[in-house]
């Protein structure tokens, strides 16, 4: 799998900085680049190969993804997401701050990928590829992802309010999904894209659940 739950650290940190934006929106923003990547892979526009043992963490040879994972395209995706959010939320308090948080959340995807990818991230279109290659240190890469996730969730608990338990349960489920992905990886490029897209959409739905206020029981309401 590509970097997975570590990307959601940007969503939780953005929620701390600009809490008026719903958590599911941040979940979409932090994986926006991969959502488009999955769609372009299924359309045959961007390319990957699955080669078992290609890195210590996964077998993904991501050899052509200039439209989503180049630095130049990531900047464009970030600006476009911030601008679209700003245009669609004219009545939102602290609108500019929230739009800026959305843009940074999208941009953080590329920066986090830079840590773990081998040199397959282009700086411009499909040229000058970079990546620090931490995927080749499997245990370290796993601990990095889990550390980013849990660190950001704990920092966001104040904003969670009475939904703290749900945030923690969400993080626990995401951690389990990260571990599962290490041992159960699809063998075909289309299957990789479909599995990731399904996971991103499912986690967005879980973020919506975690953001809902717990129901107030009749007894509590009467006491209040």
pLDDT tens, position by position, 153-206:
999 999 899 999 999 999 999 999 999 988 888 999 999 999 999 999 999 999
pTM greater than the 0.85 cutoff: yes
CA distance 27 to 205: 9
Helix (H) or strand (E) holding 221: helix 218-223
**Helix pair angle (189-211, 23-30), 10° resolution:** 160
Q: What is the pLDDT of residues 70-96, one digit of tens each?
A: 999 999 999 999 999 999 999 998 999
pLDDT for position 214: 74
3-state DSSP of 70-113: CHHHHHHHHHHHHHHHHHHCCCCCCHHHHHHHHHHHHHHHHHHH
127 DSSP β-pair partners:
124
For residues 206 and 198, give the distance between their C-alpha atoms in angstroms, rounded to a whole number. 12
**Residue ranges per structural domain of the chain:** 5-216
Which of 38, 39, 8 shows the shortest CA–CA distance to 26? 8
Residues 6+ apart with CB under 8 A from 56: 135, 136, 137, 138, 141
């Amino acid at each position: 799998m590509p970097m997975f739950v570590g990307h959601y650290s940007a969503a939780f940190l953005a929620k701390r900085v600009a809490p008026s934006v719903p958590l599911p929106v941040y979940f979409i923003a932090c994986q926006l680049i991969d959502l488009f990547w999955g769609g372009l892979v299924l359309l045959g526009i961007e390319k990957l190969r699955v080669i078992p043992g290609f890195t210590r963490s996964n077998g993904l040879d991501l050899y052509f993804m200039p439209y989503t994972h180049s630095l130049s395209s990531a900047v464009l995706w970030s600006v476009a997401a911030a601008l679209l959010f700003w245009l669609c939320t004219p009545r939102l308090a602290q609108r500019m701050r929230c739009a800026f948080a959305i843009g940074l959340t999208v941009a953080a995807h590329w920066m986090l990928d830079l840590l773990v990818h081998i040199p397959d991230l282009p700086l411009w279109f499909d040229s000058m590829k970079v990546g620090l290659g931490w995927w080749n240190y499997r245990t370290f890469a796993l601990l990095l992802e889990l550390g980013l996730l849990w660190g950001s969730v704990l920092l966001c608990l104040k904003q969670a309010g009475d939904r703290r338990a749900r945030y923690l349960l969400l993080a626990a489920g995401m951690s389990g999904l990260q571990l599962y992905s290490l041992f159960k990886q699809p063998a075909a490029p289309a299957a990789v894209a479909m599995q990731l897209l399904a996971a991103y959409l499912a986690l967005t739905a879980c973020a919506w659940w975690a953001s809902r206020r717990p129901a107030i029981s009749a007894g509590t309401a009467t006491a209040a």
